[in-house]
Structure 1
Amino acid sequence: MNFLMNLIWFVLGGFISFISWIVIGILWCLTIVGIPIGMQCFKFAVMAAVPFGREIRISESGTSLVLNIIWMLLGGLALAAEEVIMGVIFCMTIVGIPFGMQHFKHAKLALMPFGAEIYRVA
């Protein structure tokens, strides 16, 4: 079932999130200092491509607070706004609600990617 949902997700707009994360990751990787942030973006691009069957766990520690603040100012807010807008559009139909909920999950991830961990749900 996850395979089917992921396929529908990717065709109906998940590729937009995937491409957004990839572009932001490439932009961050253009600088030596931004490579760790870019690599994090590539990890989340995979999550944006196939989100069903995966969950996000966000750490409560404050160690990544500075990176999250820098991230929000230099790319995170734009990605979060994109995800919220797409989530609202999908939630306008009953059939699209599961897809909209995935976009809202990604919006939270777009705001605070550092300290977040992706894991598979059985």
Structure 2
Amino acid sequence: MRLLLNLVWLVLAGVWMALAYALAALICFVLIITIPFGVAALRIALFALWPFGRTVVRRPDAGLASGIGNVLWLVLCGWWLALGHLVTGIALCLTIIGIPLGLANFKLIPVSLLPLGREIVDVDRAGPGAVSF
């Protein structure tokens, strides 16, 4: 079932959202000081291509630097990536087949807003409290 969902996701939302994250990474790489944000954007782009079967968990070693970085990310890239997930999720929810994909888009909004201090892992490795797809 995950394979089928990932394939449909890839065609309807995954490629487009991954391109948006790649654009965010490019912007971050050009600004040089935000290169770590670009790396995070590419990591999330891969997650946005194939989300089912993987999840996002908080890293226990994330601290104040991640919090400050998340604020900077939110201002530079996070808000428009979250808006992209919101618009795509609403559009997918207009069809019965797209509802699970739209809900997955809504679950990606928190990580698009605040990606630092989080890790993408397989659902099997995720602990309690993880949001799974």
What's the TM-score, normalizing by structure 1?
0.91
Q: Could you tell me which residue of structure 1 aligns to residue 18 of structure 2?
A: 18
1:72 to 43, 50, 74: 74
Deviation of 1:2 (Å): 1.8
Hey, what's the Cα distance between the residues in 2 that align with 1:94 and 1:58?
32
Hey, what's the Cα distance between the residues in 2 that align with 1:107 and 1:70?
16
Hey, what's the Cα distance between the residues in 2 that align with 1:62 and 1:88?
33
Q: Could you tell me which residue of structure 2 aligns to residue 54 of structure 1?
A: 54
Hey, what's the Cα distance between the residues in 2 that align with 1:27 and 1:37?
10
Q: Could you tell me which residue of structure 1 aligns to residue 40 of structure 2?
A: 40
Q: Aligned-pair RMSD on alpha carbons? A: 1.5
SS at match of 2:121: strand
SS at match of 2:119: strand
Structure 1 segments unaligned to the other structure (5+ residues): none
Amino acid at match of 2:95: T
Q: How many residues align?
A: 122
Hey, what's the Cα distance between the residues in 2 that align with 1:58 and 1:82?
23
What's the TM-score, normalizing by structure 2?
0.84
Which piece of structure 1 moves more, 59-68 or 11-20?
59-68
Structure 2 segments unaligned to the other structure (5+ residues): 125-133
Query: CA offsets per residue over residues 22-76 of structure 1, 9 Å max, x none?
Result: 1110110113311111011110000000001011113585521111111111111
Could you list the runs of 4 or more consecutive aligned residues of structure 1 that deviate by over 4 angstroms after TM superposition?
59-62
Identity of aligned residues (%): 34
